Structure 1
Amino acid sequence: MAERPTADWRDGIAEEAAEIAAGVLDPDCACMAGLFPEDLLVATDAVLDTFEGDLAGLAEASDARILAVVERVVLALNSVNEAHGGGAFETDEREQLCLYIDASLTENGVDVVTLTARHGLGRYQLTDKWRKW
């Protein structure tokens, strides 16, 4: 399964905590825990849990069903972002989330390139219609 962006964010938080504990990072220079508070991580993981549950059987699904799954995850992530002041997912996080969605679909048999082409989109435009983050 594709690695969730939240796993990467948690690793960054742990790495900074270890560096602070070792005395190699000034606590005033640490930013990961502030960028990714636990409630943001939990809310994002809840959305991704639902998305992963929706992936079963998509290899044989209609475009409408696949796009509905993408729409649901994007709208749910919009809600998480909005609940965190509209700035929870910055450029790097947006890219990680979009790549995660793409990789998860691909791992579950969806040809994202062909799907998006049928709808006049580039591969990396799959989430654009609904995404506010």
Structure 2
Amino acid sequence: MQPFERELTALTHATDEEIFAAIQHVVLALNKVNDDYDSAAYETGEREQLCEYIEDSLTENGIDVDAFAGRHGLTRHEITDEWRDW
């Protein structure tokens, strides 16, 4: 199990702040990989797959991604935007 998945699994009755923290952790880790490859680690299709992975992981852990995003005036596709550099 990957660190992001472990972090989500550890959340019971997660608050939105805890969910955002988990998203931030995984996005910053992915940013680091991208930085290590001079901002060329991920191609368009891979970026989409990474976002889908994050959304799917949240869903698998009982988080309604659309409802979560909507509570913050976002769409499901915008939940990583605050931190994402890739």
Q: TM-score, normalised by structure 1?
A: 0.62
CA displacement, residues 65-108 of structure 1 (integer Å, 9 cap, x when unaligned): 00000000000100011001111112101000000000011000
Size of the aligned set, in residue pairs, is 86
**Cα 1:67–1:106, aligned 2, differ >3 Å: closer, same or farther?**
same
- Indicate whether 1:93 and 2:46 are aligned: yes
CA distance in 1, matches of 2:10, 2:32: 26
Q: Which residue of 2 aligns with 1:19?
A: none
**Cα 1:69–1:55, aligned 2, differ >3 Å: closer, same or farther?**
same
User: What is the CA-CA distance between 1:113 and the residue it aligns to?
Assistant: 0.4
SS of residue in 2 equivalent to 1:89: coil
Q: Which residue of 2 aligns with 1:112?
A: 65
Letter in 2 for 1:65: E
CA distance in 1, matches of 2:41, 2:33: 8
Percent identity for Structure 1 against Structure 2: 52
Higher relative contact order (CA 8 A, sep 6+): 2
4+ long deviations beyond 2 Å = none
Question: Unmatched 5+ residue regions in structure 1?
Answer: 1-47
CA RMSD of aligned residues (A): 1.3
Q: Which has the higher helix share?
A: 1
Query: Match for 1:68 among 13, 21, 28?
Result: 21
Q: TM-score, normalised by structure 2?
A: 0.94
Give 1:1-133 correspondences, 5 Å limit.
49-58=2-11, 60-133=13-86
User: What is the CA-CA distance between 1:63 and the residue it aligns to?
Assistant: 0.1
CA displacement, residues 17-51 of structure 1 (integer Å, 9 cap, x when unaligned): xxxxxxxxxxxxxxxxxxxxxxxxxxxxxxx8111
Asked if 2 retains the 8 angstrom alpha-carbon contact of 1:81 and 1:87, the reply is: yes
CA distance in 1, matches of 2:47, 2:9: 24
User: What is the CA-CA distance between 1:58 and the residue it aligns to?
Assistant: 3.5
Is the radius of gyration larger for structure 1 or structure 2? 1
